[in-house]
Copies of this chain bind each other. A is one copy, B any other.
Amino acid sequence: MDRHWSEEARAIVRRAGHNRGAARDALIELLSDQDCALSVAEIETRLGAQRPVARASVYRAVELLHSLHLITRVDIGDGVARYERAAYDHSHHHHLVCDSCGVLIPFEDPGLEQAIDRVGAQLGFATTEHEVTLHGTCVRCN
């Protein structure tokens, strides 16, 4: 899906002083093909279809990629963290969660982003990242 992202991600990881590793490379490749967030369990399962990868390695990899701002963490309140690749231009989406069927719907909204930027600036808070999640019922469920 996004070949450029996976190349860039590997380059940034190396520049940060890390050796290359099969598990992390496979994870980067997997995330580059996704349009929305995956949980660690989902990542582990999908990678395992090709070559088994230890859970600890998945956690280590997402932690590193997240600390380098290469992926964003999505928390929809079910106690399971999800991760998805971040765009270089800081463009990103947020999520609607249907509490009835559990579907995760991504959306983008410039007006919302502006409002968030304004809030951080007003309070003198150096915002590095933000999370927005809407809960409710989707069109099919209501």
Contacts and interface: CB of A to CB of B under 8 A. Distances in A.
Interface string A104-142: 010101011011101110011111111111111111001
Contacts of A120: 96, 134, 136
A105 B134 contact: no
Nearest to A113: B115
Interface residues of A, number: 37
Contacts of A131: 77, 131-133, 135
Interface of A: 73, 75, 77, 79, 81, 96, 98-99, 105, 107, 109, 111-112, 114-116, 118-120, 123-139, 142
5 contacts: A96-B125, A116-B134, A125-B139, A127-B134, A130-B134
Nearest to A142: B126
A97 to B, nearest CB: 10
